[in-house]
Amino acid sequence: MKDDEPQLIERYTPNERSNHWITAICFILLALSGLAMFHPSMTFLYAVLGGGQWTRILHPFIGVIMFVSFLILALRFWHHNYLDRDDIQWMKQMGDVINNREDKLPEIGRYNAGQKLLFFAMVVCLVLLLLSGIVIWRRYFSLYFPIEIIRLSALVHAIAAFVLICGIIVHIYAALWVKGSIGAMTRGYVTWGWARKHHPRWFRESIK
Amino acid sequence: MAWQSLDVKRLSATTSEPPGVREPATGTVAKLIDVSRCIGCKACQTACMEWNDLRDEIGVNTGVYDNPHDLTEHSWTVMRFTEYENSQGNLEWLIRKDGCMHCEDPGCLKACPSPGAIVQYTNGIVDFHQENCIGCGNCITGCPFNIPRMSSERRVYKCTLCSDRVAVGQEPACVKTCPTGAIVFGTKEDMKQHAAERIVDLKERGFENAGLYDPPGVGGTHVMYVLHHADRPSLYAGLPQDPHISPVVRLWKGVAKPIGLAIMALTALAGFFHYTRVGPNEVTAEDEAAARDEVRRMRGEPPEERSDERR
């Protein structure tokens, strides 16, 4: 064991990373093109997918890809995200969380309570986005639904997208904030020190 | 139609105010359709086809007079025929010329996400600019009258109230052609006065519920009807009793959006300020050393020699 080089643990396999990044690329395209349609101040974002007509054409197809990709990702990680009693304690100590006082927090496993809650929030949002998105997909599906359902779906789609975008902003910020996290999803590995500091229970299970 | 010919009051998906110094001195315009005078000849449909160069597909007869059966991207107006048996047991043939109502508060324009695809002129006409249309169909979702129709090239069409004719001082083509004078056009005030006279006449002839259809739920319309049974507009092929922009659409396109956008921006800003105030959560060399020590203990290996001692 060399002491001057940090020892590494694999956190995400190549397949998990690809799966994550396909979902992430889809999300970025969808969020930008969706915001163009969301509010007049964002209409410059129509250029992202090549104008209004192309935005309208591509947005739902990219959405389907994101849903399928996310579904596979969610099935991979589902069993890591069950909430337990420590998670409730973690949430009560939000002040320690945001002020980097991790030594005071209960021992965290593979994911902390924030990650788990975000996971399930994303699951709910993605399901709502898919269902409402199908209803408002005029080209193929809207003709099968009454106007009241289409109106409601447009509203649900906007709300679910709003919650998801806010959630992903938190997700991206957390990755920037907790140094070493981005490497986990780009290269697949974290150092022992990172694992022990942020996810001690997972660290011990992995080392055994 | 070109914007310069008529002045713009409202543009879809635009938060800044359009140029609006010029206002029609005589107020807005309106088309008045006197249903009691309509003989169902469909000359208005033909005039609409001619002026706008539209030819719908030839359909099939399904046993009703409506032809075509519904509005399409090629048929911007359709006569809807209703056979109504009144309380005396007499048949009344109610014929309503259906088409865009040109709402003062247009649900289509409110719902449209494409800047300038839907325009409301200062004279009250609501017009679609298909070159800006993205084909999403939100206008169909927003419309309380089920009027806009999507074409195969994914653009939405409807009655323009002949904005091109009105811009040069002519009446709409359907008005020009109507042989009984059932359709008239002028300033909204004049049309209301004309309607009032017609309603007096109809009441004298026994239609005690005769009245003007200018629904306040959408701020009034720039296409109005004189109805013999104004108390029951739904008799006329389902004309809505109290049309208004759906509260769901109002919420979706109203306060929810600026608030939603503000919260998204604040979430991102909160992250930035957290980073600049609290700072990143980093793993130090001591954390790595502690992790190595712990692994050694778990594996029963001797404790780590400090690298500086080795040198």
Query: CA–CA separation, A51 vs A70, rounded Å?
Result: 26
A 86-145 residues with CB below 8 A of B? 98-100, 102, 136, 138-139, 142
**Beta-carbon pairs below 8 A across chains A and B:** 160
Claim to verify: residue B266 and residue B214 sit in the same structural domain: no
Residue A39 lies in a domain: no
Cross-strand bridge partners of residue B11: B119
Residue type, B233: P
Residue B168 lies in a domain: yes
Claim to verify: residue B234 and residue B276 sit in the same structural domain: no
Our answer to whether residue A157 is catalytic in this structure is no
Average pLDDT over residues B254-272: 95
Claim to verify: residue B229 and residue B277 sit in the same structural domain: no
Claim to verify: residue B231 and residue B265 sit in the same structural domain: no
Residue ranges making up the domain that contains A105? 8-14+68-78+85-207
Identify the residue whose tokens are 């003007």.
B212
Claim to verify: residue B292 and residue B216 sit in the same structural domain: no
Query: CA–CA separation, A61 vs A59, rounded Å?
Result: 6
Tell me, what's the pLDDT at B144?
Answer: 97
8-state DSSP, A161: H
> With contact defined as beta carbons under 8 Å apart, do B128 and B3 qualify?
no
Identify the residue whose tokens are 């709300």.
A159
- ipTM for the complex? 0.92
Residue B214 CB coordination number (10 Å): 22
Residue A139 lies in a domain: yes
Task: Give the nearest partner residue to B291 out of A41, A43, A192, using CB atoms.
Answer: A192
Query: CA–CA separation, A8 vs B258, rounded Å?
Result: 46
Residue A40 lies in a domain: no
Read off the pLDDT of residues B198-250 as tens digits, 9 standing for 90 and up: 999 999 999 999 999 999 999 999 999 999 999 999 999 999 999 999 999 99
Token representation of residue B191: 């049309």
| CATH code (residue B69) | 3.30.70.20
Claim to verify: residue B221 and residue B272 sit in the same structural domain: no
A 139-178 residues with CB below 8 A of B? 139, 142, 147-148, 150-152, 154-155, 158-159, 162, 165-166, 169-170, 173, 176-178
> With contact defined as beta carbons under 8 Å apart, do B126 and B106 qualify?
yes
| CATH code (residue A100) | 1.20.950.20
Nearest-CA neighbor of B214 among B304, B124, B88? B124
The helix (H) or strand (E) run that includes residue B270 is helix B256-277
Claim to verify: residue B66 and residue B119 sit in the same structural domain: yes
Query: CA–CA separation, B298 vs B90, rounded Å?
Result: 98
Query: CA–CA separation, B103 vs B138, rounded Å?
Result: 16
Claim to verify: residue B281 and residue B218 sit in the same structural domain: no
Mean pLDDT for all residues in chain B: 93
Put simply, whether A37 touches B (Cβ < 8 Å) is yes
Measured CA distances, B10 to B16, B105, B110 (Å): 9, 10, 10
**Cβ distance of A56 and B305 shorter than 8 Å:** no
Claim to verify: residue B167 and residue B202 sit in the same structural domain: yes
Cross-strand bridge partners of residue B91: B85
- 3-state SS assignment for residue B25: coil
- Is the predicted pLDDT of residue A86 greater than 80, yes or no? yes
Average pLDDT over residues B92-100: 97
Task: Give the nearest partner residue to A40 out of B15, B268, B291, using CB atoms.
Answer: B15
Tell me, what's the pLDDT at B302?
Answer: 80
Could you tell me where the DSSP H helices lie in chain A? 14-38, 52-77, 85-92, 94-98, 113-135, 147-177, 181-186, 192-198, 200-207
Crossing angle for the helix pair A147-177 and A113-135, to the nearest 10 degrees: 150
**Cβ distance of B280 and A136 shorter than 8 Å:** no
Identify the residue whose tokens are 């020892």.
A7
Residue B249 lies in a domain: no
- Domains held by chain B: number: 2
8-state DSSP, B11: E
Read off the pLDDT of residues B286-309 as tens digits, 9 standing for 90 and up: 999 999 999 999 888 887 665 554
Claim to verify: residue B301 and residue B201 sit in the same structural domain: no
Residue A126 lies in a domain: yes
DSSP string, A19-36: HHHHHHHHHHHHHHHHHH
Q: Is the dihedral of CA A176, A181, A183, A188 positive or negative?
A: negative
- Domains held by chain A: number: 1
Residue ranges making up the domain that contains B41? 3-244
